Structure 1
Amino acid sequence: MRRLLTGATAVALGVTGTLVMANSGSATADEEIRYIVAYAEGSSAASARAAVRDAGGEIVSENKDIGVATVTAGEGFAAKADASKALVGAAQDRVVAATTPDAARDARKQDVSKVETEFRTGAKGHGPKAPKPKPKGEPLSGLQWDMKQIDAGAANKTERGKGVRVGIMDTGVDGSHPDIAPNFDARLSRNFTTDIPTDANGAAVDGPCEEEADGSCEDAADVDENGHGTHVASTIASPVNGVGISGVAPQADIVNLRVGQDSGYFFLQPSVDALTYAAHNGIDVVNMSYYVDPWLFNCTSHPADSAADQAEQTTIITAMQRALDYAHRRGVTLVAAAGNQAIDYTKPQTDASSPDFASEPGEEPYVRDLLDPESCVSMPTEADGVIAVSATGPSERKSYYSSFGDGFVDVAAPGGDAYDTAEGTRDYAANILAAYPRDLAVAEGAIDPETGEVLVPWAVSDCSSGECSYYQYLQGTSMASPHAAGVAALIVGKYGKHDFSGKTLSADKVEKILRKSATKKACPVPADYTYVRHLPDGSTSTSTHTCEGGEAPNGFYGDGIVNAKAAVGR
Structure 2
Amino acid sequence: MKRVIVIAAAAALTAATLAVPAQARRPDTAPGEGRGGGYVVLYRRGVSAADARRAVLAAGGTVTRENAAVGVATVTATGPAFADALRADPRIEGVARDMVIGRVPQRSAPGHAGSAGAAGTGGLLSAPTPRVGTASASEPRAALPAPAGAARTDDPDAADSGASVLRPEPLAVRQWDMRQIHATVTGSYRRSRGTHAVLVGILDTGVDATHPDIEANYNAGLSRNFTVDMPVDANGKELDGPCDQEPDKSCTDPATVDENGHGTHVASTIASPINGLGVAGVAPGASIVSLRVGQDSGYFFLQPTVDALTYAADNGVDVVNMSYYVDPWLFNCTDNPADSPEERRDQQTVITAVQRALDYAHDRNVTLISAVGNGAGDYTKQILDTSSPDFARVAGQRTRNRLIPPSCLSLPSEGDHVLAISATGISGRKAYYSDYGDGYVFAAAPGGDVYDTPTKTQNITRAVLAAYPKSVAEKRGELNPDGTPRIADIVRSCRGRVCGYYEYLQGTSMASPHAAGVAALIVSRYGVPDPAHGGKTLAPDIVERRLRTTATRRSCPVPPAYTYVRRLAGGGEITTTQVCEGTSIRNGFFGYGVVDALRAVS
- In which range does the TM-score fall when normalised by the shorter chain? over 0.9
d(CA) in 2 for partners of 1:215 and 1:314? 36
Contact 1:99-1:202 within 8 A present in 2 as well: no
Aligned match of 2:14: 13
Contact 1:523-1:551 within 8 A present in 2 as well: yes
What secondary structure is seen at the aligned counterpart in 2 of 1:156?
helix
Contact 1:272-1:323 within 8 A present in 2 as well: yes
The one of 415, 427, 432 aligned to 2:447 = 415
Aligned match of 1:296: 330
Q: CA deviation at 1:5?
A: 2.4
Q: CA deviation at 1:84?
A: 2.7
Question: 1:240-263: CA deviations, max 9, x gaps?
Answer: 011111000000000000000000
Q: CA deviation at 1:97?
A: 3.0
State the TM-score, normalized to the length of structure 1.
0.94
Task: Kindly report which structure 2 residues correspond to 1:278-427, keeping only aligned pairs within 5 A, or say none.
Answer: 278-370=312-404, 372-374=405-407, 376-427=408-459
d(CA) in 2 for partners of 1:47 and 1:31? 26
d(CA) in 2 for partners of 1:423 and 1:445? 31
Gaps of 5+ in 1: 25-29
Aligned match of 2:594: 561
Question: 1:483-540: CA deviations, max 9, x gaps?
Answer: 0000000000011012233110011111111111100000001100000011122220
Amino acid corresponding to residue 550 of structure 1 in structure 2: T
CA change 1:2–1:511 in 2 (3 A) is farther
Aligned match of 2:84: 79
Contact 1:141-1:246 within 8 A present in 2 as well: yes
Contact 1:355-1:366 within 8 A present in 2 as well: yes
d(CA) in 1 for partners of 2:350 and 2:454? 43
Amino acid corresponding to residue 242 of structure 1 in structure 2: G
Amino acid corresponding to residue 69 of structure 1 in structure 2: A
Bigger mean CA deviation after superposition, 396-405 or 63-72: 63-72
Contact 1:350-1:368 within 8 A present in 2 as well: yes
Aligned match of 1:27: none
Aligned match of 2:242: 208
Aligned match of 1:270: 304
Bigger mean CA deviation after superposition, 73-82 or 243-252: 73-82
Question: 1:6-58: CA deviations, max 9, x gaps?
Answer: 1555752323231587999xxxxx94212110112333434423322222212
Q: CA deviation at 1:365?
A: 1.4
Amino acid corresponding to residue 526 of structure 1 in structure 2: P
Bigger mean CA deviation after superposition, 83-92 or 98-107: 98-107
The one of 110, 113, 121 aligned to 1:107 = 113
d(CA) in 1 for partners of 2:368 and 2:3? 14
Aligned match of 2:542: 509
Contact 1:115-1:401 within 8 A present in 2 as well: no
The one of 225, 229, 234 aligned to 2:263 = 229
Aligned match of 1:495: 526
Aligned match of 1:527: 560
Amino acid corresponding to residue 210 of structure 1 in structure 2: D
The one of 126, 134, 154 aligned to 1:124 = 134
Q: CA deviation at 1:158?
A: 1.7
Q: CA deviation at 1:286?
A: 0.3
d(CA) in 2 for partners of 1:315 and 1:8? 14
Question: 1:517-565: CA deviations, max 9, x gaps?
Answer: 1000000011000000111222201000000011120000000000011
Amino acid corresponding to residue 86 of structure 1 in structure 2: R
Task: Kindly report which structure 2 residues correspond to 1:12-91, keeping only aligned pairs within 5 A, or say none.
Answer: 12-14=13-15, 15-16=17-18, 17-19=21-23, 31-74=35-78, 75-91=80-96
Amino acid corresponding to residue 60 of structure 1 in structure 2: T
| 4+ residue runs over 6 A deviation | 20-24
Contact 1:404-1:556 within 8 A present in 2 as well: yes
Aligned match of 2:4: 4
Aligned: 1:430 with 2:462: yes
Q: CA deviation at 1:332?
A: 0.4
Contact 1:112-1:340 within 8 A present in 2 as well: no
d(CA) in 2 for partners of 1:558 and 1:377? 18
CA change 1:21–1:391 in 2 (3 A) is closer
The one of 435, 439, 451 aligned to 2:471 = 439
Question: 1:396-442: CA deviations, max 9, x gaps?
Answer: 00000000000000000000000000010111111100001011111
d(CA) in 2 for partners of 1:246 and 1:8? 43
What secondary structure is seen at the aligned counterpart in 2 of 1:53?
helix
Q: CA deviation at 1:134?
A: 2.1
Aligned match of 1:248: 282
d(CA) in 2 for partners of 1:98 and 1:320? 29
The one of 128, 142, 145 aligned to 1:134 = 145
Aligned match of 1:455: 486
d(CA) in 1 for partners of 2:600 and 2:435? 25
State the TM-score, normalized to the length of structure 2.
0.90
What secondary structure is seen at the aligned counterpart in 2 of 1:315?
helix
- Report the identity percentage: 53
d(CA) in 2 for partners of 1:395 and 1:112? 28
Q: CA deviation at 1:116?
A: 4.1
Q: CA deviation at 1:300?
A: 1.4
Bigger mean CA deviation after superposition, 346-355 or 231-240: 346-355
Q: What RMSD, in angstroms, separates the aligned Cα atoms of the two structures?
A: 2.0
d(CA) in 1 for partners of 2:84 and 2:204? 32
d(CA) in 1 for partners of 2:64 and 2:523? 37
d(CA) in 1 for partners of 2:489 and 2:8? 44
d(CA) in 2 for partners of 1:457 and 1:561? 28
The one of 503, 525, 536 aligned to 1:472 = 503
Amino acid corresponding to residue 503 of structure 1 in structure 2: K
d(CA) in 2 for partners of 1:397 and 1:357? 33
Question: 1:122-144: CA deviations, max 9, x gaps?
Answer: x1322686672422211111110
d(CA) in 2 for partners of 1:518 and 1:241? 28
CA change 1:200–1:170 in 2 (3 A) is same
Amino acid corresponding to residue 57 of structure 2 in structure 1: R
Contact 1:7-1:325 within 8 A present in 2 as well: no
CA change 1:111–1:31 in 2 (3 A) is closer
Contact 1:78-1:89 within 8 A present in 2 as well: no
Gaps of 5+ in 2: 29-33, 115-119, 147-166
Contact 1:13-1:67 within 8 A present in 2 as well: no
Question: 1:446-494: CA deviations, max 9, x gaps?
Answer: 222x311111011111113331111000000000000000000000001
Q: CA deviation at 1:102?
A: 3.2
d(CA) in 2 for partners of 1:565 and 1:48? 50
Query: May I ask how many residue pairs the two structures share in their alignment?
Result: 560
d(CA) in 2 for partners of 1:95 and 1:486? 35
Q: CA deviation at 1:82?
A: 2.5
CA change 1:21–1:248 in 2 (3 A) is closer
d(CA) in 1 for partners of 2:319 and 2:347? 26
